[in-house]
Homo-oligomer: A and B are copies of this chain.
Amino acid sequence: MYSLILQNIERHVQLTDDEQVYFTSLLQLKKVKRRQLLIPAGEPCRFEYFVIKGCLKQYYLDNNGQEHILMFAPEDWWVGDMYSFVYNKPALTTVEAIEDTEVLALDRKRFDDLVLTVPKFERFFRILLQRAFVANQRRIIESMSLSGAERYENFIAQYPSLEQRLPQRLVAYYLGITPESLSRIKAASAKKRR
C-alpha cells in the first residue's frame, strides 16, 4: 500500500527505515468512487493527496458553468487545492474521481510537523514544487504560443497513456478548447495522415 508513495519520495531523497515508518503513519487511506468529489470547490481543503490507484481530474468551474481542467492525477501523482492548503481559504477548484480511485491523504497539520521535524521532507516538497512550477510555466507558454492542434499533439506526446484512458471531452477541457474543436482537429489530422 505504501510502496508507490515511498518510491515516489525516494526518487528525490533517501529515507531511513524510521523515517519511512514515521511518514507512513501520518497517511490516511481514502477511497473515492467514480464521479465522487475528493475536494469540492468552495470548501476549505486541509489535505494534499497522493494517488495510488485510479485517476482524478482537478478543474475550475467558471461563471458560465464551464469546466477547465488544471490537471489529471493518475497513479503516482500528487494532487490537492494548493491555494486552499496554503492560505486556509475555500478551495477554488474541484477534484473529482474519473475512475474508482484510492488516495493517501496528508493533512496540513501533520504536513507542517513532518517538514519541520524531518528536513528531508521539506527538501522533497521543495523539489516537487520546483518541477511543478516548471510544468506550469510550460503550460502557460504553450497556451500563449501554440494552436489547439499543436497543444493536442504535445499532450499526446507527453501523456500517451492518459490520452487512451480519458474521454476526449476531458482532454479538450484540459487543452482549453471545446470538445467540438478537438473532434475537428482529430478529423483533420487523420485526413492529413492518409
Chain A residues within 8 Å of B, Cβ to Cβ: 60, 62-63, 66, 68, 70, 82-83, 86-87, 92-93, 115-116, 119, 122-123, 125-126, 129-134, 136-141, 143-146, 176
Tallying the copies of this chain within the complex gives 2
- 3 A-B pairs closest in CB distance: A119-B119, A129-B129, A62-B145
Asked if B86 and A130 make an inter-chain contact with CB atoms under 8 angstroms apart, the answer reads yes
Asked if B137 and A140 make an inter-chain contact with CB atoms under 8 angstroms apart, the answer reads no
Task: A70-B140, A83-B134, A143-B176 are known; give 8 further A-B pairs, CB within 8 A.
Answer: A62-B145, A82-B130, A86-B131, A86-B134, A119-B119, A122-B122, A126-B126, A133-B133
Cα A139 to Cα B133 with chains together (Å): 12
Asked if A83 and B137 make an inter-chain contact with CB atoms under 8 angstroms apart, the answer reads yes
Q: Which residues of B contact A176 (CB under 8 A)?
A: 143-144
Q: Which residues of B contact A143 (CB under 8 A)?
A: 140, 143-144, 176
